[in-house]
A and B are shown apart, each in its own frame.
Chain A
Amino acid sequence: MTHLDYPSTALPDDGPHGSEERGPAISPLRPGMDPGKIAVSSQWTLIWQKFFSNKVAVAAGVVVLFFYFIGLFAEFLAPTSPSLAQPRFTYAPPQSLSFFVTDADGGWTWQPHVKGYTTTVDPASLRRAFAIDENSVIPVGFFVEGTPYRFWGLIEMKTHLFGPLDPSQPMNLLGTDSLGRDLLSRLIHGTRISMSIGLIGVVSSLVIGVVLGALSGYFGGWTDLVIQRIIEVISAMPTIPLWLGLAAAVPIVWSPITVYFVVTLIVSLLAWTGLAREVRGRFLALRGEDFVTAAILDGSGRARVIFRHILPLLTSHILAVVTLAIPTMIVAETALSFLGIGLKAPVVSWGVLLQDAQNIRTVATAPWLLIWPAGAVVITVLAFNFLGDGMRDAADPYET
């Protein structure tokens, strides 16, 4: 071993005159970015930044917003009324949209149109069969006058975003159902019901779930014990028979809208348990944190500690959970209506539309009755799930 008594070596003094270092060395990834900015941005800014870096979630969010937009302006966006029956065109196949017509001398003219139908009657079965007539042109356009409606039940209007210039001519871009009603219009109106049932259902289960979960987690002991046993009992209930029973109990004289709210309530009364457990777990973890103790020592009462100090920390998580819960609601409504115990005609929802596709013969002759409503459900549920996943990942911006 050598004698360790030589002097130490130091970097040159970076005293007041030199280039004194004031912190760790950082260089921005791209020129012009200021890492210091992150330090002063609020938690929500960080959450948004993280969310927007997830492209799939952003795309899903756009899809969800698009569906809500459709639901919001359903009457205007739908080419015709969802209940307008066209006896001449039952099970008519989808028409395709074209934009140019060829005139007599072979030139092309701009004219959006759909092709008309030719009807043949099968002499043996007396069933009508439709074929697209390439020669008949039904001109369509934007902002056309069509079937009258009350916008949001308030304003008398006739203008539709698009439709045939002559309202008496058929335009069924997605085909028609057994009564000759336009599937596209029904799908658009169904969007309103199906998307809002998810929202309303989730809001009511959110309130129950957050309040009971917060109480359970914060107080613990007997409160926790009781609430958790209630949750277990509710989770143990077989849902389909329960729905069947409750739906059967709904008086037949109630209006479709009342039934709609009751169904929503039934669905949400069973769906809050997951959220309550989530919130309880978070409260259990947070109530022991130093800042909660600090709030208690500051003199805050229980309600203030729960709602002012702890709950704001959970909002992003709750939002994510809610986003993931909405598709469950939508699927539940669809399933209930499909089974005939949820919403019933004349209310139009995706589940009600799928009722038409219950037997194999319909599916074979008019597959569009299955494809489009089912497609809408699948796309919505996927979009909500991607969105919810993205939000959950973004909810905690400090995790890497």
Chain B
Amino acid sequence: MPMTTQTPSATALAKPTRAQHDDLVSAAASAPVLSVRGLSIDFHLRTHVLHAVRDVSFDLFSGQTLCLVGESGSGKSVTARALLRLIDPQAKVSGGSITLQGPDGELRLDTLAPNGREIRAVRGGRIGLIFQEPMSSLSPVHTIGSQIVEALLLHRKMTKAEAKAETVKLLRQVEIANPEQMADRYTFEFSGGMRQRAMIAMALACKPDILIADEPTTALDVTTQAEIMDLIARLQRETGMAMLMITHDLGLVAEVADSVAVMRWGRVVEQGPVDAIFHAPHHPYTRKLLSATLRLDTAAKRTAPATTGQPLLSVRGLCKGFGTTNWRGQQTFAIKAVDDVSLDLWPGENLGIVGESGSGKTTLGRMLLRIIEPSNGSILWQGNGQAAEVTKMQRPELAQYRSAVRLVFQDPFASLNPRMTVKQVIADPLIVAGALKGAALEARVGDLLELVGLERSAMERYPHAFSGGQRQRIGIARALALDPRVIIADEATSALDVSIRAQVLDLLLDLQKRLDLSFVFIAHDISVVRYFCDRVVVMHKGRIVETGPAEQICTRPAEPYTQSLISAVPNPDPRNRRMLHRTRFGA
């Protein structure tokens, strides 16, 4: 058995002693390919030392997948990179060992020179690495083929012709159509999913024993994610390599992991087989993570408002085309980002807009506020009793409309001006509107901060003093400053960690109850939409595919596209794997 089997009542730190470990190794069917013992990494920063990784131990076994799970800042990526000695210069490995089992005995990776010949032979040769960002991890100036050929020439004794043939074989293996032609294409000619496939081909080029995948599908859509995970699972079965996957997505963990290590603040707080982690977690943090993870069948306890009366916002036939004007001044739209979209938002309702990247959901949200001017169609605002056409509004009316319909941004770091204090940020709409001054203004800002669950004293600080979740709360306070009726939340929770995300969603629901708000909730994460929204609009390639109550869309989708989308969502339950449909042993 690969893991130590301590009883949960044990009070000692759950680190296997050397003797215990040796016992376990001899008892196990196979020895680990890579074992990490007591790894600690310190970052020497300007003013302090950050203990990014503390006393981390785990083993990787052939043909098995270990998932390192944790929220941002937990040290999971640093741990993975330390295996290849790819850590930043200010980081120092301050203790522990990394042992790689090879055909010619053990190799201590932690003692190798950071850029020496031996570690370079391991990188790409014995251990392959896939990064999160398929956009930036491939060179834009070389063809995909030549980048794989380079990896082959560096690690395997091959002639150039052989390497080229091998490259085509590898690309075929990762299910890229027409590999002969695609090898000569450049990175920009590949979509995100295809780039990640090419990255996998490159990582597999030298038949590594271990594959490290650092958030390999985070930047991808759910359907692409499912395909990539299928591919990785198939390749793992065929080659029998060990995999270390780093992710924050517990759904994905449940789908692919054999064992799991949960990290928080640099320490592994709990590790064990995937089933035990999901169904018998011991550590409160693991339980907290699991309870914060949203499923397609979890919904907030709220009753959907009636959708019969007069809607607040009615969108009819809204279009946005991007293109050029020809020489006669006629517009030619090469791309229709939003194509003939019609929807209604009733008072007190949460309307979700779901779609993959490029589906036009963000463009739609921005057109509702006329940050992007619509090319066609109408937006009818009926918040003041009478109907007003948003697309024809002039400046004073538009300002009034924009104070009633507010936007919460996706990125909590980019949406707050770093040179303004929290007070200045939140007070800005009030100052511009000329509503309040002096002490009254300060009191209002304090009230708003308390409303979103922050302390009044926070107003003198600068945004960089706050975490992502707190910044998002500040953004929400700014949106609430002008007593809005509708809030458009554009991926408002997608940049947040799981536990923070749950808190922010509950905050929004609570605010809705207290302030009588309506939400347009734009998201790519269907579980979040299921939790938050009453009705869901599914968008694909700029068009609305399906509209319906959230419960129906998530459990009984009618349209084939929606069905494929829903089935690709990972299910955070290892006993009911939806995405890969793998057979499991035991449990």
| Partner-B contacts on A (CB < 8 A) | 1-15, 21, 23-29, 33, 35, 38-40, 42-43, 53, 289-291, 293-300, 304, 309, 312-313, 398, 400
Contact = CB atoms under 8 A, between A and B. Distances in A.
A10 B50 contact: no
A295 B426 CA distance: 11
Interface stretch (B212-220, B410-418, B519-527): B410-418
Given A291-B416, A299-B432, A10 B259 contact: no
A12 to B, nearest CB: 5
Contact of A8 (B44, B272, B461): B272
9 contacts: A1-B29, A12-B10, A21-B265, A28-B47, A43-B462, A43-B464, A290-B411, A294-B415, A312-B417
A13 B49 contact: no
Given A5-B587, A7-B8, A9-B14, A28 B48 contact: yes
B417 A313 contact: yes
Contact of B3 (A6, A23, A24): A6
B269 A33 contact: no
A294 B270 contact: no
A185 B568 CA distance: 83
A319 to B, nearest CB: 14
A212 to B, nearest CB: 22
A27 B14 contact: no
A300 B416 CA distance: 15
B462 A9 contact: no
Nearest to B2: A2
Most chain B C-beta atoms within 10 Å of own C-beta, residue among A3, A25, A33, A40: A25
Interface stretch (B185-193, B282-290, B353-361): B282-290
Contacts of A9: 3-6, 8, 10, 14, 270-272, 282
Contact of A4 (B52, B259, B461): B259
Given A10-B282, A40-B465, A298 B432 contact: yes
B258 interface: yes
Contacts of A398: 418, 464
Contacts of A296: 371
Interface stretch (B95-103, B164-172, B309-317, B399-407): B399-407
B432 A304 contact: yes
B271 A24 contact: no
B371 A8 contact: no
Interface stretch (B273-281, B501-509, B559-567): B273-281
A7 B47 CA distance: 41
A3 B276 CA distance: 12
Contacts of B369: 297
Nearest to B28: A2
B429 interface: yes
A39 B465 contact: yes
B284 A15 contact: yes
B429 A299 contact: yes
A35 B417 contact: no
Contacts of B273: 4-6, 8
Nearest to B257: A4
A3 B586 contact: yes
B51 interface: yes
B428 A35 contact: no
Looking at chain B's contact residues, is the secondary structure mostly helix, strand, loop, or mixed? loop
Nearest to A21: B265
A24 B49 CA distance: 11
Pairs A-B, 8 closest by C-beta atoms: A8-B272, A4-B273, A10-B282, A290-B415, A298-B429, A10-B270, A25-B51, A10-B283
A40 B459 CA distance: 11
A2 B275 CA distance: 13
A235 to B, nearest CB: 30
A21 to B, nearest CB: 6
B277 A8 contact: yes
B446 interface: no
Given A9-B14, A10-B269, A300 B428 contact: yes
B73 interface: yes
B279 to A, nearest CB: 10
Contacts of B258: 1, 4
Given A33-B47, A293-B371, A39 B464 contact: yes
Given A8-B273, A33-B47, A2 B29 contact: yes
A7 B272 CA distance: 6
Contacts of B283: 10-11, 13
A46 B14 CA distance: 41
A21 B54 CA distance: 13
Most chain B C-beta atoms within 10 Å of own C-beta, residue among A14, A33, A42: A42
B419 interface: yes
A10 B12 CA distance: 10
A42 B462 contact: yes
Contact of B48 (A2, A7, A21, A26): A26
A312 B407 CA distance: 24
B414 A11 contact: no
Given A1-B585, A2-B1, A11-B267, A299 B14 contact: no
Contacts of B406: 297
A6 B371 contact: no
Interface string B429-466: 10011000000000000000000000000000110110
Contact of B284 (A7, A13, A24, A291): A13
A400 B265 CA distance: 22
Contacts of B4: 9
B308 interface: no
Contacts of B269: 10-11
Contacts of B90: 400
Nearest to A309: B417
Contacts of B462: 40, 42-43
Contact of B50 (A25, A42, A291, A298): A25
B26 interface: no
Given A298-B478, A313-B418, A5 B429 contact: no
B409 interface: yes
B75 to A, nearest CB: 8
